[in-house]
Structure 1
Amino acid sequence: MKLHIKSDFPEQFRKGASFYINEKDKLTIDSINFERGLVKFEGYSTPELAKKLTNKNLYTTYEQTRKDCRLEEGENFWFDIIGCKVYEEDELLGEVKELERILDVNYLLIKTDEKLLEQKKAKSFLVPHRKPFLISIDVNEKIIKLNGAKDILEAS
């Protein structure tokens, strides 16, 4: 069947790798052809069986992702960034709710802190996940320090 890989880590798709299509149903790759974008899953050897997987998304666990996907120095998994508190000059601006990719730029979707909402600021805002906005990320402490984000919030 056709497989559309939208992952930053295509190397995780290999013979023997397992993925979920929901909380309990697991699929294991029997063979994969990247040039043709084709995959065969164990137990899905006929077109009729393969059709049952049409428009399904593949998922994996955080633990398996950490094992199979290699990050470069200074990179983080999106799931580690979500939930981080966002600060600029020691002022809490909000919390990362999601990351969004628009064209080739990743953005932090920040839910604005309650104190700033009381000042009639926007409920949420986007900040590019790159320099010069990004100063530091500490996923262990769940803290992101930004520069220029407050200006973006003010303009939102």
Structure 2
Amino acid sequence: MVEYLTVGKVANTHGVHGELKVIPTTSDISRFDYLKIVWVEKNGKLTEYFVDSVRYHKNFVLIRLHGIDTMDKAAELKNCELKVNRKNARPLDENEFFIADLLECEVYEGDEYLGKITDVLQTGSNDVYVVNGGKYGEILIPALLNVVLKVDIENKRVQVVLPEGLIER
């Protein structure tokens, strides 16, 4: 399992005092209200920062990190990802999973290998697993309880029952 989970990406600076304009990549934007520490990934290296303030503007999170107090310092973090470590991630509900944990899981219907999850589309009503690498090409599988029977993150295996007509056999 991945130790650090991405919660946002720095899109730009905001103002002259080092505030960052962040595109949230978490399904629960309110989680930013509780952030005390974030890790910024730049050039494959993680740096820990204390969060000084968080506020919201349109579809963005405006965040100020301790030590980033000028526009120039903030500009150095443009396009970097903001991450939290797993122990500080928000608790998951039953049948809820982090996208990072689902990626690369092998998907089976019975004993038939359908491919690996390469992406998860968040449509609003339900997520959709993008599965590639099997004999049917790309399959879009709705993440519904009557379709996704079992998710075993430890063994990277997902068991499904495909809806009638989803693939041609």
What range is the shorter-chain TM-score in?
0.7 to 0.9
Q: Does 1:81 align with 2:102?
A: yes
Higher share in helix: 1
Higher share in strand: 2
Partner of 2:64: 40
Residue 93 of structure 1 contacts residue 150 of structure 1 at CA under 8 Å; is this kept in 2? no
Change in 2 beyond 3 A, CA 1:142/1:136 = same
Cα distance in 2 for residues equivalent to 1:127 and 1:75: 16
**SS where residue 119 of structure 2 aligns?**
strand
Which consecutive unaligned segments of at least 5 residues does structure 2 have? Answer: 1-18
Partner of 2:118: 97
Partner of 1:112: 133
After TM superposition, the score normalised by the length of structure 1 is 0.74
Which consecutive unaligned segments of at least 5 residues does structure 1 have? Answer: none
RMSD of aligned C-alpha atoms?
A: 2.7
Partner of 1:124: 138
**SS where residue 50 of structure 1 aligns?**
helix
The structure with more radius of gyration: 1
Cα distance in 1 for residues equivalent to 2:99 and 2:143: 11
1:1-156 alignment, distance < 5 Å: 1=19, 2-10=21-29, 11=31, 14=34, 16-22=36-42, 23-35=44-56, 37-60=61-84, 64-113=85-134, 116=135, 121=136, 123-148=137-162, 151-154=165-168
Q: Which has the higher contact order (CA 8 A, sep 6+)?
A: 2
Identity %: 19
- State the shift of 1:14 in Å: 4.6
After TM superposition, the score normalised by the length of structure 2 is 0.69
